[in-house]
Amino acid sequence: MNQMTPPPRIEIIPPSAPFSEAQRSWLNGFFAGLLSTDGPVALSAEQGANLLQGSGSDGDDGEAPWHDQTMPIAERMKLAEGRPMRRRMMAAMAQQDCGQCGYNCHDYSEAIASKAEARLNLCVPGGKETARMLKTLHEELEKTPVASSSPALAPAAASPVVTAEPGRSRDNPVAATFLSRRLLNRPGSEKETWHIDFDLSGCGLDYVVGDSFGIFAQNNLGHVDQIIALLGASHLTEVRGKTLREALTSDVSLAPAPDSLFELISFITGGAQREKARALAQGEDPDGDAATLDVMAALQKFSGVRPHPEAFVEALEPLQPRLYSISSSHNATPGKLSLTVDCVRYVVGKRKRLGLASTFLAERIKPGDQLKVYVQKAHGFALPQDAKVPIIMIGPGTGIAPFRAFLLDRKATGAPGKNWLFFGHQRSECDFFYSDELNALKTSGLLTRLSLAWSRDGDKKFYVQDRMREVGRELWNWLAEGANIYVCGDAKRMAKDVERALVDIVAQFGARTTDEAVLFVGELKKKGRFQLDVY
pLDDT over 70 (residue 498): yes
Question: Would you call 354 helix, strand, or coil by DSSP?
Answer: strand
% of the chain residues with pLDDT over 90 = 77
What is the pTM (predicted TM-score) of this model? 0.83
At 255, phi and psi to the nearest 5?
-80, -140
Over residues 419-457, the pLDDT tens digits come to 999 999 999 999 999 999 999 999 999 999 999 999 999
Distance CA 85, CA 145 (A): 13
Closest Cα partner for 153 from 14, 26, 29? 26
pLDDT over 90 (residue 222): yes
CB atoms within 10 A of CB 522: 12
Task: Report DSSP letters for 255-289, one per residue.
Answer: SBPPHHHHHHHHHS--HHHHHHHHHHHTT--TTS-
Residue 62: the pLDDT is 81
Q: In a 10 Å sphere around its CB, with 0-12 CB exposed, 13-18 middle and 19+ buried, how is residue 199 labelled?
A: middle
Closest Cα partner for 378 from 326, 433, 438, 314? 326
Taken in order of first residue, the domains within the chain and their CATH numbers are 73-143 (no CATH), 174-216+321-376 (2.40.30.10), 221-315 (1.20.990.10), 391-534 (3.40.50.80)
CB atoms within 10 A of CB 46: 9
pLDDT over 50 (residue 36): no
pLDDT over 50 (residue 364): yes
Contact 56, 495 (CB under 8 A): no
CB atoms within 10 A of CB 172: 15
What integer best gives the mean pLDDT of the chain?
A: 88
Distance CA 293, CA 273 (A): 15
At 508, phi and psi to the nearest 5?
-70, -50
Over residues 184-196, the pLDDT tens digits come to 999 999 999 999 9
Give CA separation, 59 vs 22, 91, 360, 422, in Å. Answer: 10, 15, 46, 43
